[in-house]
Copies of this chain bind each other. A is one copy, B any other.
Amino acid sequence: MKSVLNSLKRLVPLEIPGVGAFEPYSAPFSAITGLQGKTRAALPLKAAAPCRDKVASSLRRAIEQSGLTDGMTISFHHHLRNGDAVIPMVLKELEEMGFKNLTFAPSSIPDAHDCVADYIKSGLIGKLYTSGVRGKLGKLLSSGETNIPVVIRSHGGRARAIEEGSIKIDVAFLAAPACDCLGNISGCYGPSACGSLGYSIIDARNAAHVIAVTDNLVEYPLSPKISIPQYLVDQVVVVDSIGDPSKIATGAARITRNPVDLRIAEDSFKLMKASGIVEPGFSFQMGVGGASLAVAVYLEEYMTEKGITGSFGLGGVGGYMASMHDKGLFRTVFDVQSFDAVVTKSMAANPSHIEIDASWYANPFNAGALVNNLDCVILAALEVDTEFNVNVLTGNDGVLRGASGGHQDTAAGAKLSIVVCPSFRGGVPSIKEKVTTITTPGETVDAIVTERGICINSRRPELLEAASKAGLHVSDISSLKKEVEKLTGVPETIEFDYERPLAAVEYRDGTLIDAVYAAK
């Protein structure tokens, strides 16, 4: 397999057998100028006779009518998270029907879905396109026991890949918390309500065939919030349950009491303030736990005190963001994925809590996604390195245990991208000479905040100056790395077999930013 070093000096393949050719990553926005004359995928034309009911008699019947054959591509969404019952249900049915060598292309894979590993072993799944890989599946893929092509994409990158045709979805199976007999779908209602269906809207718009799977068939027409309109949906399948509500919402997030996280959060907020971005019209995306969430507490206090109203909150939306919106601290929330039941309720009730699709959120190949308008994003990391590159995909043992998510999308788009990260975890330092896998290029990361100091990317001298002026505890990242290593020791480096890429890691524009290799 021919490989080259990309601009970050990562060895990436130029081709993945069974998938196609890839370009190496070169710069965050280099693709902008290279699209002249290129086109999106040409979608299949379809037509339907007038009908009053698209409900198939069974999941099996729907699959039979879908035209699915071996080797085709199926897609799913992960909005039901660990409560999702549709991926296991459909894969089981497909296995029983004798399908082989399908490309499994969900928006991401919930942690709980160990079954995916089994279906790779059985030959049902022959290729995997996803944002994240964890648990048993991560171990299986990282072991090198299987040899299926795997491509990791960000949420914006997946939308791009679907629209441009790098992912051609033959059949999309859409878990539908509420659905009518003609396929109008909402995520806001029903026992398995999950809020936004932002990732799956792209699948519905671009799949050759769309099957809605619901446990909540409502009177026609579904109203008032329709996430996916009937004209995109070919069949409806009614099942007993599409999910376990207790596992769909993460539940109201508690603010961390961990002093390390609180220290990181406070310093992150101070950096935001020092940078001058927390002004009227401020826009923000944050995480839903740990230090990232805790930043919002400081932010809320400040915005309230100063009477600052932000323009929009974006995300992956958790309860804390919904609450800030409720309090009027952000005029609008744009929601591609809702984490808590309270967020789902907010989206159902509040017109300025707006459901967005993944292209609107983060696709780099359109006239301007929302990530491009972010003033600040707070991002977590498994590892960072002295070039500010970030790894959110693999552990320091090289095993797949994370997800690309919206990390590289928001880091590229936001004016100020802050990565929050304890300086070490379980005795292992978080700042490396080189991260195990690059998912987000250091060029797009402005600062890394640890409990031992704030590191500012040398590409942002004006930010360094502002932080210094504000008297913040700014550290040089190499010095901080050494300081931590005095406590933890220098971790051993794993040796990888660079002849054997296990997974290709795309940058959002479709170039390869890295590959995951088997440990020797």
On A, residues with C-beta under 8 Å from B are 29, 31-32, 35, 37-52, 54, 164, 182-183, 210, 219-221, 223-226, 229-234, 281, 311-312, 331-332, 334, 351-352, 354, 356, 359-360, 363-370, 372-373, 412-413, 509
Instruction: Identify 9 residue pairs between A and B in the complex whose beta-carbon atoms are under 8 Å apart, listed by A's number.
Output: A32-B48, A35-B44, A38-B44, A38-B45, A48-B367, A182-B373, A223-B351, A224-B351, A233-B368
User: A359 and B231 in contact (CB under 8 A), knowing A38-B44, A51-B372, A354-B224?
Assistant: yes
Please give the count of copies of this chain that the complex contains: 2
User: Does A224 lie within 8 Å of B352, measured CB to CB?
Assistant: yes
- When chains A and B are docked, how far (Å) is the Cα of A224 from the Cα of B47? 33
Cβ distance A186 to chain B, nearest Cβ, rounded Å: 12
- Please name the residue on chain B nearest to A367 by beta carbon: B234
Q: CA separation between A47 and B47, bound complex, in Å?
A: 31
Establish whether residues A352 and B29, one from each chain, have CB atoms under 8 Å apart when the complex forms.
no
B52 and A373 contacting across the interface, CB-CB below 8 Å: yes
Residues of B within 8 A of A365 (CB): 45-47
Are A367 and B210 in contact (CB-based, < 8 A)? yes
B368 near A48: Cβ-Cβ < 8 Å: yes
A513 to chain B, nearest CB (A): 17
**Chain B residues with CB below 8 A from A183, complex form:** 367-368
Expressed in whole angstroms, the Cα–Cα distance for A359 and B40 within the complex equals 19
Closest chain B CB from A30 CB (angstroms): 10
Given contacts A364-B47, A367-B183, contact A41 B38 (CB under 8 A): no
* Chain B residue at smallest Cβ distance from A39: B42
Shortest CB–CB separation between residue A350 and chain B, in angstroms?
A: 8
What's the minimum C-beta distance from A396 to chain B, rounded to whole angstroms? 32
* Residues in chain B near residue A509, CB distance under 8 A: 47
Q: How far is the CB of A129 from chain B (nearest CB, A)?
A: 19
For residue A373, which residues in chain B have a CB less than 8 angstroms away from its CB? 50, 52, 182, 220-221
Given contacts A221-B311, A360-B231, A369-B231, contact A43 B32 (CB under 8 A): no
